[in-house]
Amino acid sequence: EAQVTQNPRYLITVTGKKLTVTCSQNMNHEYMSWYRQDPGLGLRQIYYSMNVEVTDKGDVPEGYKVSRKEKRNFPLILESPSPNQTSLYFCASSPYQGYDNEQFFGPGTRLTVL
Amino acid sequence: QKEVEQNSGPLSVPEGAIASLNCTYSDRGSQSFFWYRQYSGKSPELIMFIYSNGDKEDGRFTAQLNKASQYVSLLIRDSQPSDSATYLCAATGGSQGNLIFGKGTKLSVKP
C-alpha cells in the first residue's frame, strides 16, 4: 500500500530532551516536507526537501533540524524541545515539486512538550 | 508575506444543500490551487486541484478559479453529514512552488 508513515504517533516529553520523529514514504517520491498544525494558525511548513541531500527552510524552521540521507526517509529532529513546540506534526510527500502535484500526508504525530 | 485566507466558519448547511467554501490568495504568481479535507485529528486528504480559470468538476465537488480576482471556491452539491470536516485551501507560492495553506473552514452538515 502506497503510504507515508510517521513514528511515533503520540509523544509526551520534557523540555530539553532531544527527540526524533521519523517519516518514511514508499512511493519513490522526490519531494518531502514537514508541517506543524496549531489551532488558529493552520498548517505551516517547517522544512522541505526537493531530493536526497537537498533540504531547505520553510516558514517556521526555528528549533528544528532535518536530514535526507535516503530518498524514502525524512526525519524531523528537535534538539532541545520547548513547550511552544507542542503541536500536531505532519510529514508529506509528492512525486516532485511541480505545480500540479498532490502532496500525500502521513497520519500525524501529536507532540506534547512539558 | 504570501497568504491564503479562508473564513474559519463554522459553516452550517442542511443535508442535501449546496455548501460553498471560499478562499482568496495574495500571491499573483500562484499557479495551482488545492482543496484538502481534514477530519478532526486526521491528516489532510486531497479533494481536487485546479490551475485554469473557470470550473472543474469531480463528482459532487466543483472547484472554481478566478485568477483576476485571486479567488478560489469549492462547491459541494448534495451535502452529506459525512462531508462535515475542515476544508483547507492551498496555493503554490514562492520560487519552489511550495504549498501555502489557509487556516481552513469548518463545515457542518446537519441531517
Per residue in A18-71, pLDDT (tens digit) is 999 999 999 999 999 999 999 989 899 999 999 998 999 999 999 999 999 999
Burial classification of residue A69, based on how many CB atoms lie within 10 Å of its CB (0-12 exposed, 13-18 middle, 19 or more buried): exposed
What one-character DSSP code corresponds to residue A95? S
Distance from CA of A36 to the nearest CA of B (A): 11
Q: B18 near B79, Cβ under 8 Å? A: yes
Mean pLDDT of all residues in chain A?
A: 94
Comparing alpha-carbon positions, the chain A residue that sits nearest to B9 is A40
pLDDT value of position A98: 65
Residue A35 contacts by C-beta under 8 Å, 6 or more apart in sequence? Answer: A43, A44, A45, A46, A58, A89, A90, A91, A92, B101
Q: Mind telling me how many Å the CA of A98 is from chain B's nearest CA? A: 7
Q: Which three cell numbers stand for residue B84?
A: 462535515
DSSP B81: G
In this prediction, residue B93 carries a pLDDT of 76
pLDDT at A48: 94
Q: How far is A15 from chain B (nearest CA, A)?
A: 24
Nearest chain A residue to B87, by CA = A42
Q: What digits encode the pLDDT tens for the residues B64-104?
A: 999 999 999 999 999 999 999 999 999 987 666 688 999 99
What are A6's three cell numbers? 510517521
Q: Is A97 a residue whose pLDDT tops 80?
A: no
Question: What's the pLDDT score for residue B94?
Answer: 65
**In the predicted model, is pLDDT for residue A96 greater than 80?**
no
Residues A58 and A92: their CA atoms lie apart, in Å, by: 13
Contact B106, B53 (CB under 8 A): no
**Rg, Å, chain A Cα set:** 13
Number of helices and strands in chain B (H, E): 0, 11
B60 versus B27: the higher-pLDDT residue is B60
- Do B17 and B79 meet the contact criterion of CB atoms below 8 Å apart? yes
Max CA separation in chain A (angstroms): 40
| Alpha-carbon gap, residue B84 to A104, rounded angstroms | 21
Instruction: Kindly list the residues from chain A whose CB atom is less than 8 angstroms away from the CB atom of residue B51.
Output: 99-100
* Through-space distance between the first and last CA atoms of chain B, rounded to whole angstroms: 40
For residue A2, what pLDDT is reported?
84
User: What's the confidence (pLDDT) of residue B1?
Assistant: 72
A97 neighbors B98 (Cβ within 8 angstroms): yes
Cell of B75: 462547491
Answer yes or no: are the C-beta atoms of A48 and A32 closer than 8 Å: yes
Residue A42, helix vs strand vs coil: strand
| pLDDT tens by residue, B2-40 | 799 998 889 999 999 999 999 999 988 888 999 999 999
